[in-house]
């Protein structure tokens, strides 16, 4: 009986250590093939008659994480109804640079940065002025208003 209790205790301890050390999922997948993700989103957007919203950011960036939070909840329905969203990890501005350059270098003045694409991969909008680089100060409503305005301008 003591052996069984000891074994159960050891298993419970190992499980709790695993839970404590588990890293929550990050919004910007550092191992993703960003080009393939965008290609997939473009194909889906064509089928669903939507646009593709590409968000460039990084997991170390507090504004990027705040934008990600704001893109859920109230903003999630707006985004899902209009866009197929792809998040592209830029690392320390050393990853997926060719994609950022291809779309006009929207990350030049900071991240997060957004690019809105037609299903044919042509750019409708790019946040080249660092419009989202202060997402921590924008509030959920400010983020909603930003994307709502883009939606209205680029139907």
pLDDT of residue 1: 58
Q: What is the pLDDT of residues 87-100, one digit of tens each?
A: 999 999 999 999 99
Mean pLDDT of the chain: 87
Q: What is the CA radius of gyration of the chain?
A: 20
Q: Which CATH architecture has domain 25-153?
A: 3-Layer(aba) Sandwich (3.40)
Query: What global pTM score does this model have?
Result: 0.82
Task: With CA atoms as reference, report the closest residue to 88 among 99, 77, 104.
Answer: 99
CB atoms within 10 A of CB 72: 11
Q: What is the pLDDT of residues 110-135, one digit of tens each?
A: 999 999 999 999 999 999 888 998 89
Domain boundaries, the chain: 25-153
Give the HSE-up count for residue 94: Cα atoms under 13 Å, Cβ half-sphere.
1
**Mean pLDDT calculated for residue range 41-68:** 96
Is it the case that residue 18 has pLDDT exceeding 60? no
Task: Give the integer Cα–Cα distance in Å for 151 and 85.
Answer: 13
């Amino acid at each position: 009986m003591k052996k069984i209790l000891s074994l159960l205790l050891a298993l419970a301890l190992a499980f709790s250590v695993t839970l404590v050390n588990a890293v929550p999922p990050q919004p910007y997948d550092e191992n993703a093939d960003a080009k393939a993700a965008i290609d997939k989103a473009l194909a889906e957007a064509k089928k669903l008659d939507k646009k593709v919203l590409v968000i460039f950011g990084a997991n170390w960036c507090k504004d990027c994480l705040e934008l990600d939070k704001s893109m859920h909840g109230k903003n999630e329905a707006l985004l899902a109804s209009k866009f197929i969203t792809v998040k592209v990890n830029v690392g320390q501005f050393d990853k997926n640079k060719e994609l950022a350059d291809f779309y006009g270098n929207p990350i030049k003045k900071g991240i997060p940065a957004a690019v809105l694409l037609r299903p044919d991969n042509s750019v409708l909008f790019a946040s080249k002025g660092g419009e989202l680089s202060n997402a921590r100060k924008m509030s959920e409503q400010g983020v909603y208003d930003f994307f709502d305005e883009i939606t209205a301008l680029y139907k």
